[in-house]
Structure 1
Amino acid sequence: MNMKKQPTITVVVENPKGSCNVYRNDHELDNFYLERVMPKGMSFPCDFGYIRSTTGTNGDPLSAIIIGDCHTFVGCKIRCRVVGGLLSTQIEEDGTSITIQHFLVLPIADGVQQIRNLSELPSIVLENLKSFLINDHATTGKKLKFTGKLDHTEAMKFVNEASTEQEIKFKLELVLPQTDSSGKPFDKILFEELNRELIKKFNGLTVYSRLPAEGFWKTKDATVQQTVVVYQLMLACIDHPYWQQLKANLEKKFNQTEVMITYGPSKQVK
């Protein structure tokens, strides 16, 4: 069957199918811990986990339920396709309520390619999942009421909006001299300040510093060789006003006629 390829996401398993233990991931420490044990006779009907690199409205990654027969373990990462989602309202013991989305996904490794949308899942699968979720919430003193469904397109819109990853489109290079025109090295504090600014500006995005590299500049009378520092950043977009202001600041700090900042499309060799 010739079907358009669906985008994939990475799901991290917190609770494997068949487990009666409920594990949670401390996302700040990236450690799993045992939260509680289900009542006797209850166990997870599927692998339960979360979609990596997403943040929901409650500050946690989006929840995912893996429909498949893979034998997994706590912390296992699985490439999956999103087929839809279940919408529900969780009612706390004090009467307050929050909206929850449960995203249903299929593992790529299972090879179940014919199911593309929530409507194609057997109804018994959805009913069993709903029954389990309602009973599991009841064991913790909470009520769960299902309010709707999401098809593949609607679910992927949620996932994309919650994604903390951005598509890398540009490679930017910033070149600075390591020494002044007399050969005296610039104070390393200048480079450290730039490192900190770039890391803070781009939320910890890796800044590559190649030191040293050699640059050659041809003047009227001779070719001048100078040791340079090259910063490389992989970016989703180019903030032109920011880079123009940074360029002007660096030209003043390093006493340069011009600081070279270039960028272009980031493409991989296929």
Structure 2
Amino acid sequence: MKDRKPRNYLDLPLGLRAPEEINVVVEIPEKSRNKYEYDKALDIFRLDRVLHSAIHYPGDYGFAPQTLALDDDPLDVLVLTIEPTFPGCLVAARPIGLLEMFDQGKEDDKVLAVPVGEPAFDEIHNFTQIFPHLLKKVSHFFESYKLLEGKQTRVVGWHDAASARRVIAESHQRFLERAEESPGA
């Protein structure tokens, strides 16, 4: 897989220093209520829906390419930012934690990360270094963002950067194994 050109955003490299630093493809910018999703078949970002609640994404939200989470989607990543980016932006990010959660009864963990090269986050290496209230806002967002849609989510809690890196490595391995099983898919 390393010698060929990426076919789409999902196929971009995970990162040269993964899992310590990873690439993140932003789907939804911070402060947006619009839920954009990458459509692999069309190779575009499309509006999936507008959040039904009067809340917005607390960071740039997207996925780590060349990963496959337990929900059979790319691994979700929330990047804390100073300024929002845009759908399709590739961000080099440092994982600092993992939010363990369930969506509709299925495991749907979120990696929490900070942008590499952003001086405001240079000294942040674990979620415990983030203001506790900001972590509460992130947890609250994921607990409540689907309530008015009649869908249930459940946040279990935060885990450290090492846990995030482990989940990233496992999801990357899962992606590689799936790619071997179905080359060209």
What TM bracket, shorter-length normalisation? 0.7 to 0.9
What are the residue-to-residue correspondences of 1:24-39 with 2, within 5 Å? 24-39=37-52
**Higher share of residues assigned strand:** 1
What are the residue-to-residue correspondences of 1:172-251 with 2, within 5 Å? 203=183
Which of the pair has the greater relative contact order for Cα pairs under 8 Å at 6+ separation?
Answer: 2
The reply to whether residue 59 of structure 1 matches residue 108 of structure 2 is no
How many residues of Structure 1 are paired with residues of Structure 2 in the alignment?
Answer: 161
Partner of 1:131: 140
Task: Provide, for residues 13-69 of structure 1, a one-character-per-residue CA deviation record: whole Å limited to 9, x for no partner.
Answer: 111012121111123433211111124742222111111111112211000001121
Task: Provide, for residues 80-139 of structure 1, a one-character-per-residue CA deviation record: whole Å limited to 9, x for no partner.
Answer: 000011101223xxxxx1111010000013121211112111111110011112221212
Partner of 2:155: 146
Given the alignment, which residue of 84, 105, 110 partners 2:113? Answer: 105
* Percentage identity across paired residues of the two chains: 27
- Are the equivalent residues in 2 in contact too, given 1:70–1:110 (CA < 8 A)? no
TM-superposed deviation, 1:145: 1.6
**Given the superposition, is the C-alpha separation of residues 128 and 109 from structure 1 closer, same or farther in structure 2, using an over 3 Å criterion?**
same
Partner of 2:130: 121
Task: Provide, for residues 181-203 of structure 1, a one-character-per-residue CA deviation record: whole Å limited to 9, x for no partner.
Answer: xxxxxxxxxxxxxxxxxxx8994
The reply to whether residue 21 of structure 1 matches residue 34 of structure 2 is yes
TM-score scaled to structure 2, two decimals?
0.78
Given the alignment, which residue of 103, 127, 140 partners 1:90? Answer: 103
**Given the superposition, is the C-alpha separation of residues 40 and 133 from structure 1 closer, same or farther in structure 2, using an over 3 Å criterion?**
closer
TM-score scaled to structure 1, two decimals?
0.55
Please report the RMSD computed on the Cα atoms of aligned residues, expressed in angstroms.
Answer: 2.2
- Are the equivalent residues in 2 in contact too, given 1:68–1:107 (CA < 8 A)? yes
**Given the superposition, is the C-alpha separation of residues 38 and 163 from structure 1 closer, same or farther in structure 2, using an over 3 Å criterion?**
same
Partner of 1:76: 89
CA distance in 2 between partners of 1:40 and 1:98 (Å): 22
The letter for the 2-side match of 1:64 is V
When Rg is computed on C-alpha atoms for both structures, the one with the higher figure is 1
SS in 1 for 2:146: helix
